[in-house]
Amino acid sequence: MLEKKQCEAFLAVVETGSFDQAGKMLCLTPSAVTLRLQALEKELGQLLIIRSKPCTLTTSGQHVFEYLKKSQRLEQNFLHDLMNKSQAEFFKVVIASNADSLATWLLPTLKDVLIKNKILLNLIVDDQAHTYSLLEKGIVNACISIEPKPMKGCKSQYLGMMKYKMIATKAFTKKWFAWYK
């Protein structure tokens, strides 16, 4: 069985991209985070993180990361189902969204469901062309993406499209678009 504190250190480094930030997140010194991660790597016999700026996962590290995130979700679901749902803590969900969806329709659409079901939402903002890879890596539970085909074990729902209209002052248009008539 994997040591919980070592796994927490590993996840913190992955999520923050650095040992310094992981230390702040866990209220530890960066050297304590390093020691925990080294102990996990020694136990598994694999290098898990490439020490660069930002830190990146090795192939083995990606497998460990996916396993730990799935384990966290399973434990969370188990505890949520086991406890009386009215007494349960908030259920944590991570969604990746593009900034435009977040700024316009996403939160008003989800608000009532989040409150009714006691869901704590963690949002990761990225381009809609990149959010699907966050789902594939197990970083998020769901995403708003341009990818039409669902990942294995997931569902895909078409949400529609957004139209954009360019608006500018006359002075801006005159300065930057004088050539366009």
Q: How many whole angstroms separate alpha carbon 59 and alpha carbon 65?
A: 10
**Sign of the alpha-carbon dihedral angle for 22, 28, 31, 32:** negative
Q: How many whole angstroms separate alpha carbon 87 and alpha carbon 9?
A: 30
By CB neighbour count within 10 A (0-12 exposed, 13-18 middle, 19+ buried), where does 36 fall? buried
Whole-angstrom distance between the N-terminal and C-terminal Cα of the chain?
Answer: 69
**pLDDT over 70 at 85, yes or no:** no
pLDDT, the chain, mean: 88
Q: Which three-class secondary structure state does DSSP give residue 7? A: helix
- Report which residue type is found at 168: A
pTM for the whole thing? 0.61
Cβ 96 vs Cβ 146: under 8 Å: no
More confident residue, 21 or 136: 21
φ, ψ for residue 56 (rounded to 5)?
Answer: -125, 160
Q: Residues 20-26: what's their mean pLDDT? A: 94
Cβ contacts of residue 94 below 8 Å, gap of 6+? 121, 122, 123, 124, 139, 140, 141, 142
As beta bridge partners, residue 50 has 56
**pLDDT band at residue 132 using 50, 70 and 90 as cut-offs:** very high
Establish whether the linkage from the previous residue to 150 is cis, with ω within 30° of 0: no
Among 74, 84, 83, 87, residue whose Cα is nearest residue 141:
74
Q: How many whole angstroms separate alpha carbon 79 and alpha carbon 89?
A: 9
Tell me the two tokens of residue 135: 């789902």
**pLDDT over 80 at 146, yes or no:** yes
Tell me the two tokens of residue 168: 């500018």
Q: Residues 105-129: what's their mean pLDDT? A: 91
